[in-house]
Amino acid sequence: MARWEPGARERLVVAAVDLFTEQGYDATTVAQIAERAGVTKSTFFRHFPDKRELLVAGQETLSRLLAEGIAEAPEGASPLEAVAAGLERASSAMGPMNRELGPRLKAAVATSAELQERDALKSVGLAAAMTTALVARGVPDPTAHLAGEMGVLAFKRGYAEWSKGERDPKDELARYTAAALDELRAASTTLG
């Protein structure tokens, strides 16, 4: 693959996940990732500051899509209905590559404390984006925080279920995140 072909960022992510799965996060170098992706180390560093950031590629886009969906929810929508709109908007951007990488990414994160820490920071960032968007809609701060956290949990649960096993390629993530949010909403009523 030529070094100047488009899609370098995506190739780097796939190469990193493959290498992390094959030989572990700690044993994988930036040079190996770049070589597997068919790019130079300098190209790697144009896209990512370090190898840890590969596993959260797209976080800013995901945060933006969640916030936009919440902002565009109908005016009378409840906080969780607005979160559902955010989840639908973000889910629509997830394609076959995201689905295929899901289980491998989860396995790579499970093997490294450093990656688990970065994954936790990603969750905090996603929750903050949703909370900010809800507060901008006039939702009180504590309610916005709770709804944002539920949104992150619904996204993670829905994504994990969506990326399991063989499924119809037309089966979209939005259905899974909506079901996870409904499940969490029902569970919250039992908290007392």
**What pLDDT, on a 0 to 100 scale, did the predictor assign at position 96?**
82
> Where does the pLDDT of residue 3 fall: very low under 50, low under 70, confident under 90, or very high at 90 and above?
very low
**What pLDDT, on a 0 to 100 scale, did the predictor assign at position 171?**
82
- pTM here is 0.84
Task: Quick: pLDDT tens for 54-98.
Answer: 877 778 889 999 999 999 999 999 999 999 999 999 999 888 888
**What pLDDT, on a 0 to 100 scale, did the predictor assign at position 38?**
93
Stretch 39-62: mean pLDDT:
87
Residue closest to 55 by CA, chosen among 133, 126, 115 = 115
* Phi, psi (degrees; rounded to nearest 5) at 132: -60, -45
Task: Quick: pLDDT tens for 146-188.
Answer: 999 999 999 999 999 998 866 676 788 999 999 999 999 999 9
DSSP letter string over 115-141?
HHHHHHHHHHHHHHHHHHHHHHTT--H
Query: What's the burial of 161, exposed, middle or buried (CB within 10 Å: 0-12/13-18/19+)?
Result: middle
Lowest mean pLDDT among 16-20, 51-55, 117-121: 51-55
Task: Quick: pLDDT tens for 98-111.
Answer: 888 888 888 888 88
Looking at this protein, which amino acid is placed at residue 58?
G
**What pLDDT, on a 0 to 100 scale, did the predictor assign at position 101?**
83
CA dihedral over 156, 159, 163, 165, signed as positive or negative: positive
> In whole angstroms, how far apart are CA 25 and each of 54, 110, 148, 151, 191?
11, 10, 30, 29, 39
Query: Domains in the chain, start-ordered, CATH in brackets?
Result: 8-54 (1.10.10.60), 58-188 (1.10.357.10)
